[in-house]
């Protein structure tokens, strides 16, 4: 995925929306393409494609996206249909629902993580042999 390049670059042909570093968005943002956030967002943020949260971004919103790469800060519930990847500078304060998650050393995740699509092992009873 071009959106998840670690060098901070993205492929402009795949990018539909860029919220720049000087931009503040408040309200319900809904998109159908790739979204890159470098500024501030408050409210809700939904896209059926990929979402990239840049290192200086602050998102105080509930989020839904196909795949998410985070280097900035999120305060809210995160729903990810595919993979969420947290860079070393990422900070998430809220619950995360995802198929899979990758957390780099140094990232902060303060909330409950639920991985959908994976079987939950039932705790064994001490009386079972």
The tens digit of pLDDT for each residue in 68-86 reads 999 999 999 999 999 999 9
Beta partners for residue 7, in sequence order:
none
The first and second tokens of residue 10, run together, are 């993205």
Q: Model's pTM, two decimal places? A: 0.80
- What pLDDT does 18 receive? 87
Strands (E), 5-112: 15-19, 24-31, 34-37, 40-47, 50-53, 58-65, 67-70, 73-75, 78-86, 91-93, 96-103, 108-110
Residue of higher predicted confidence among 18 and 53: 53
Tell me the C-alpha distance between 56 and 77, whole Å: 19
Let me know: does 38 contact 19? Beta carbons within 8 Å: yes
- What pLDDT does 16 receive? 78
Domain segments of the chain as ranges: 2-108
């Amino acid at each position: 995925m071009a959106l998840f390049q670690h060098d901070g670059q993205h492929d402009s042909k795949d990018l539909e929306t860029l919220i720049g570093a000087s931009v503040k968005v408040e309200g319900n943002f809904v998109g159908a393409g790739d979204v890159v956030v470098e500024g501030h967002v408050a409210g809700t943020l939904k896209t059926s494609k990929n979402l990239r949260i840049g290192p200086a971004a602050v998102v105080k919103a509930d989020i839904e996206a196909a795949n998410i790469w985070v280097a900035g800060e999120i305060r809210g519930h995160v729903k990810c249909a595919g993979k969420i990847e947290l860079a070393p500078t990422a900070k998430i304060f809220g619950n995360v629902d995802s198929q899979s998650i990758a957390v780099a050393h140094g990232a902060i995740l303060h909330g409950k993580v639920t991985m959908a699509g994976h079987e939950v092992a039932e705790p064994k009873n001490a009386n079972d042999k």
